[in-house]
Structure 1
């Protein structure tokens, strides 16, 4: 089992990255034998999507995307950690989703939204509405919203609120792993035809 975690903030050493590293650690502790690939969009931003993705010619974009694509292709499940910027998913994360095609197809995705205050719900709605269409990721029913994130997951959970958040994270991770096992059968079934039906409707 391999899980990919995407830290979707464009800020280096962001709160999103802190949460992504926390989840990386919890995956190792909860799911023995599971490896993790952590993609940090803050320190290593990807080039913006352009038409070269649809051509057969080499390009700087394809060169930068190739190692990321290889890691995602090997993954059985994906966790997306996103901050809420002006009520939206950050541009770097939207760009990441534009670059993805078959890498995420029929793989379960867990949305983890973080907010400096009491927000965090809008990125969940945005990703569930349009963040799956052409990459075919399957967002699982559970998601996590971590509010007042600067006070959360900085060490051993202490307050009741922090313990609740930590418990919710563990619960979602366990479910994600089971979805990862189950959807492997769909990917191996041979029913997918992404040459003919590459894009969702």
Structure 2
């Protein structure tokens, strides 16, 4: 089983990438066979334009390797920091560039990151607006990492011990649920019922 983590922060040293590394380590500790991180640090994806639909060479050269990576994945973890109560623009742009061929009818776990006590708004935004055409299936669990600078650090001295233990345990629990959904939805995709040229977009 392959699970891909989408780390949605534009910042090169953002806390989201620290969280992604912990999740990758947890996944590779017996939950899945392969785990890749696709990071949006440094804005590697230009803003969408109609050349994506037209198959322009600049877009196919950039996107085809990423499309192949995503298409070969069985499930996803979508990590979003909360910026001004929103999902970062680069992560929203990701969902314009990749759709049902890469993400369709595959489960995803939402993980949001807040420096304070926030983190709920990106959960609501992702559940509301990122799945319609991509057919990505968010599972009913989510992780909201609050006060992120005090947890999931490599040096235990930098962590609030009680909170750190809670997050690590809950992350592992949620990832095992994601794995079970990945197994189940593989059967849905293989059944052929999701394939359609007539209803290309969601309602």
Task: Tell me the TM-score normalized by structure 2.
Answer: 0.94
User: Which of 77, 80, 95 is matched with 2:78 structurally?
Assistant: 80
Structure 2 unaligned regions, length at least 5:
none
Tell me the residue number matched to 1:47.
46
Aligned-partner SS, 1:63: helix
**Number of residue equivalences:** 199
- The 5-angstrom pairing of residues 1-201 of structure 1 reads 1-31=1-31, 34-43=33-42, 45-55=44-54, 57-101=55-99, 102-155=101-154, 156=156, 159-201=161-203
Q: CA deviation at 1:52?
A: 1.4
Q: Distance in 1 between matches of 2:42 and 2:35?
A: 18
Q: Distance in 2 between matches of 1:113 and 1:4?
A: 16
Q: CA deviation at 1:130?
A: 1.0
Aligned-partner SS, 1:30: coil
Q: Distance in 1 between matches of 2:30 and 2:164?
A: 18
- 1:34-91 superposed Cα distances (whole Å, 9 cap, x missing partner): 1011101004521211111212x43312221111110000000000110001100000
> 2:107 touches 2:178 (CA, 8 Å); kept in 1?
yes
Q: Distance in 1 between matches of 2:58 and 2:184?
A: 36
Q: Distance in 2 between matches of 1:92 and 1:110?
A: 18
Structure 1 unaligned regions, length at least 5:
none
Let me know the Cα RMSD of the aligned residues: 1.3
